[in-house]
Amino acid sequence: MATEAESGTGLVFHPMDQFIVKPLFGDVIHWYTPTNVTLWMGLAALCVIALMVFGTTGRATIPSRIQSVAELAYGFIYKMVEDVAGKDAVKFFPYVMTLFLFIVFSNFLGLIPMSFTTTSHFAVTIVLALLVFLTVTIVGFIKNGVHFLELFWVTSAPLALRPVLAIIELVSYFVRPVSHSIRLAGNVMAGHAVIKVFAGFAALAVVSPVSILAITAMYGIEVLVAFIQAYVFTILTCVYLKDALHPGH
């Protein structure tokens, strides 16, 4: 396909090449090989640690700038877990916080030019979403036993409709991890690919100013999307946790 584009217009579009997983050393990718995935995930972890641990070493009552950012993130997610999932969900707070910080830093690190975006890979987001799905299902059954199945049996609906609704609810329950993961990866990948396509047009001198403007605008929207997708992933995790803890609504 790329060769066709090259021969047709003289432009070179490789919008997906930025997502290629490459080993840092050597050529072969085993399950343990350090790759660019490792590098950028490690950087994300380092950023999280730098913000949340080294930023707060002062334990100051009057916080420094970094510490107040860390406290802001803490308060933001804590309030979200408490408000959306309920008071008894607070014990899942470190877990939700881990997801949020990992996603938000991966997204922002991915916005650095020439970087690699780990959250644009379905392998990553599907694991994240499956972790949430499994947690919610297991916690739901442990907490409520068989009553957890009442989530699919809508007692407020007429009796005749309930089996139909049960099937719909069941399907939507199992579609959750799919939409949860594809939403994140798709959003991130789409934005990066679009920027890349605009960058491809910049090879034509006539359109390059427009192209650069478009890249700048897309970059701005991507910064917004990077945060909003992390927020949405986190708040949906909280919503699902609420279902697990209080299935009766």
Partner 1 sequence: MATTSPAADAAHGAVTAPGMPQLDFTTWGNQIFWLMVTLVVIYVVLSRIALPRIGAVLEDRQNTILKDLNTADDFKQRALEAEKAYDAALAAARAEAGRIAAQTRAAIQAEVDAAIARADVEIAERTAEGEAAIAAIRRSATDSIAQVATDTTEALVAALGGKADATEIAAAVAAQMKG
Partner 2 sequence: MEGNLAHIGAGLAGMGTGIAALGVGNVAANFLAGALRNPSAAASQTATLFIGIAFAEALGIFSFLVALLLMFAV
Residue ranges in contact with partner 2 by CB under 8 A: 1, 4, 16, 80, 83-84, 179, 182-183, 186-187, 189-190, 193, 228, 231-232, 235-236, 239
Amino acid at 170: L
Q: Does 79 bind partner 1 (CB under 8 A)?
A: no
CA distances in angstroms from 22 to 9, 126, 154, listed in the order given: 29, 20, 49
Give me the 127-156 binding string for partner 1, x by CB under 8 A, dash otherwise: xx--x-------------------------
Amino acid at 249: H
Q: Does 168 bind partner 1 (CB under 8 A)?
A: no
CB of 249 to partner 1, least distance (A): 29
Question: Are the C-beta atoms of 176 and 184 separated by less than 8 Å?
Answer: no
- 70 contact, one of partner 2, partner 1, none, CB 5-8 Å limit per kind: partner 1
CB of 119 to partner 2, least distance (A): 13
Q: Does 121 bind partner 1 (CB under 8 A)?
A: yes
CA distances in angstroms from 7 to 2, 10, 90, 127, 201, listed in the order given: 9, 6, 58, 39, 15
CB of 134 to partner 1, least distance (A): 13
Question: Are the C-beta atoms of 11 and 198 separated by less than 8 Å?
Answer: no
Q: Does 97 bind partner 1 (CB under 8 A)?
A: yes
Give the residue with the Cβ less far from partner 2, 67 or 119.
Answer: 119
Q: Does 16 bind partner 1 (CB under 8 A)?
A: yes
Q: What is the dihedral of CA 220, 225, 226, 231, to 10 degrees?
A: 140
**Cα–Cα distance for residue pair 43/37, rounded to 1 Å:** 10
Burial class (CB within 10 angstroms; exposed 0-12, middle 13-18, buried 19+) of 234: buried
Using alpha carbons, select from 86, 90, 172, 180 the residue that is nearest to residue 132.
Answer: 180
Q: Which of 30, 65, 155, 159 binds partner 1 (CB under 8 A)?
A: 30
- 183 contact, one of partner 2, partner 1, none, CB 5-8 Å limit per kind: partner 2
- 187 contact, one of partner 1, partner 2, none, CB 5-8 Å limit per kind: partner 2
